[in-house]
Amino acid sequence: MTPSKISIEDVARRAGVSITTVSRVINKQPSVSKKNLARVEEAISFLKFKPNVSAQRLAKGLNNTVGLVMPGYPGIFYSFYGVELIRGVGHACETLRLDLIFHITNGYNPLLTNNVGGIIFADIIENRKQVMAILEEGVPCMIINNIVDDLDVSYVAIDNRSGGFMATDYLIGLGHKRIATVTGNLHTQAGAQRLEGFKKALARHNFPLEPEYVFEGDYSRRSARSAAERFLSLKNRPTAIFAASDDMALEIIAVIMERGLKLPQDVSVIGFDDNPAAIYGPVALTTIKQPLFQMAEDSVKYLNSIVSGKKRGPIKVILPPKLVIRESCCAPAGT
């Protein structure tokens, strides 16, 4: 009999005590004699019994608490991405009358799960080991914005490759041939896959991938400024730029205008996110919309259905991106 098939009844039978006594030992309740405590602990050790974490929490009445784990990157509370995820998770918890525990992680320290019924990971950035540890404990969890097919884990994500392709294909359709991109952090799945989509669109139209038109960014305005300054200094400067986030796109627009160039007549710019702030700039930004609020809200609903036993995991959902056309893109001059 494998450890995963060992039940609390097996432990009680070997220890010669009731199931209730075993449950009290597992839940560290003090009302167990030293003699029975020793018997139960011996049986657990001998049988290599692993208690069902979800059942323990159900017994303690703690399944109404959700843990939200977010990577601790700079500016987390100022980024549209971070705020939308927190807002969506918070709204869903309020609707379902769930409590929320918020944890910012560096990815290295183990997570304490005693007081939560389930955990939501806002992406996986250098904290994959934490996810694997939670799965090993048997704690229900969901991942936002990361497609994980090599682990038995639930997720709600967006098709980032499709989004990168969609943005680039739109620019090509307008007649642009010199198209540059400033990527997101390529250590993130979103950053890497948006770049893959960019490359795929170029290949689809038999456009060469020019290394000078690719700048590795990190979603920050600082990196976007550096990218824009480099692109605009090229002898054959790009006529269009795809930025992997709206924040970076807005900074690129600022540099373009500082140089005295016209947008979109001289340089078209397209972003990714659909940050409402991008509507009210000097030129309303064309972008790829990713449903961050919906991803966050759905993750709580799916997690709650797993914790409550209404659904069995893993639940894997990939949401489509959407092209939002505004004023920051047009056909290149002379076409």
Q: Is the pLDDT of residue 296 over 50?
A: yes
Residue 204 covered by a domain: yes
Mean pLDDT value across residues 324-331: 98
What does the pLDDT read at residue 204? 98
In the structure encoding, which two tokens stand for residue 27, read together?
């839940």
Whether residue 282 sits in one domain with residue 201: yes
Percentage of residues of the chain with pLDDT beyond 90: 66
Quick check: 54 pLDDT over 60?
Answer: no
Q: Is residue 201 part of a domain?
A: yes
**Position 252 in a domain:** yes
For the cut 60, the answer to whether the pLDDT of residue 136 exceeds it is yes
- Indicate if the pLDDT at residue 287 is higher than 60: yes
> 175 and 252 share a domain?
yes
The whole model's pTM is what? Answer: 0.79
Residue with tokens 């705020």: 83
What do you get for the CA distance between the two ends of the chain, in Å? 73
In whole angstroms, give the CA distance from residue 239 to residue 63.
54
> Total structural domains in the chain?
3
- Among 62-76, 145-159, 207-221, the least confident range: 62-76
Do both 300 and 154 map to the same domain? yes
One domain for residues 150 and 165: no
Residues 33 and 178 grouped into a single domain: no
- Our CA dihedral for 75, 76, 82, 88, rounded to 10 degrees, sits at -130
CA distances from residue 237 to 227, 232, 313 in whole angstroms, order as listed:
12, 5, 49
Q: What is the mean pLDDT of the chain?
A: 90
Together in a domain, 165 and 273: yes
pLDDT at residue number 125: 81
**Domain assignment present for 325:** no
- How many helices, marked H, and strands, marked E, lie in the chain? 11, 12
Residue 3 has pLDDT above 80, yes or no: no
Structural domain boundaries enclosing 259: 160-290
Q: Is 284 exposed, middle or buried (0-12, 13-18, 19+ CB in 10 A)?
A: middle
On whether both 148 and 258 belong to a single domain, the answer is no
- Judge whether 272 lies within some domain: yes
pLDDT, position 56: 59
Q: Is residue 331 part of a domain?
A: no
Write out the two tokens for 21: 């006594």
Identify whether residues 256 and 214 lie together within a single domain: yes
Residue range 69-82: mean pLDDT, rounded: 80
Phi, psi angles (nearest 5°) of residue 84: -65, -40
Q: Cα–Cα distance between 210 and 143 in angstroms, integer?
A: 35
In a domain, 333, yes or no: no
Residue 332 lies in a domain: no
Q: How confident is the model at residue 62 (pLDDT cuts 50, 70, 90)?
A: very low
pLDDT exceeding 70 applies to what percent of the chain?
A: 94
Tokens of 262: 């016209």
- Looking at the structure, tell me whether residues 220 and 308 fall in a common domain: no
Give the chain's length: 335
pLDDT category of residue 63 using cuts at 50, 70 and 90: low
Note the pLDDT tens digit of each residue in 9-36: 899 999 999 887 887 888 777 778 889 9
More confident of the two residues 24 and 63: 24
pLDDT exceeds 90 at position 197: yes
Q: What is the CATH number of the domain that holds 306?
A: 3.40.50.2300
- At 74 the pLDDT is 65
Based on the domain organization, do 150 and 244 belong to the same domain?
A: no
The pLDDT of residue 282 is 87
pLDDT of residue 213: 98
Looking at the fold, whether 204 and 113 belong to one and the same domain comes out as: no
Residues 98 and 166 in one domain: no
H/E stretch holding 118:
strand 118-122
Q: Read off the pLDDT of each residue in 189-208 and give the average, rounded to a whole number.
A: 97
